[in-house]
Amino acid sequence: MSNERKQYKVSIHDDAAQMLFSHVRFLSNVSIPAARKLRAMLFEACESLEDMPHRCPIYPTCRTSNTYRQLIVGRYQVLFSINEENNTVNIRYILDSRQDNDI
């Protein structure tokens, strides 16, 4: 039995990237160092999904036909799906949990 873990390619949807930059832009109005830290933290979290994305629970309140999982990063939620056929993690949303997010 091999100890090798399956590696996934992480793909960030354009809408999710826009959400990420919107959060960072908003924070930069308060503190540029904090905005840079948030950006790095969110990118690092997204990259971590290359290894074991199944560790994240299924997002329970999703009203779409897709099954999304969630990765909590501070007060942000990274919602993604896993495509086993092509070993891809597709990041679809990056949400601020302080906001009313209806997806």
- Quote the tokens at residue 20: 């990420």
Confidence label for 63 from pLDDT (cuts 50, 70 and 90): low
- Check if the beta carbon of residue 91 is closer than 8 Å to that of residue 84: no
So where are the chain's domains?
9-96
Confidence label for 1 from pLDDT (cuts 50, 70 and 90): very low
Topology of the domain comprising 9-96: YaeB-like fold (3.30.2310)
* pLDDT per position as a tens digit, 29-46: 999 999 999 999 999 999
Q: What is the CA radius of gyration of the chain?
A: 14
Q: What is the pTM of this model?
A: 0.84
**Which comes out higher in pLDDT, residue 47 or 65?**
47
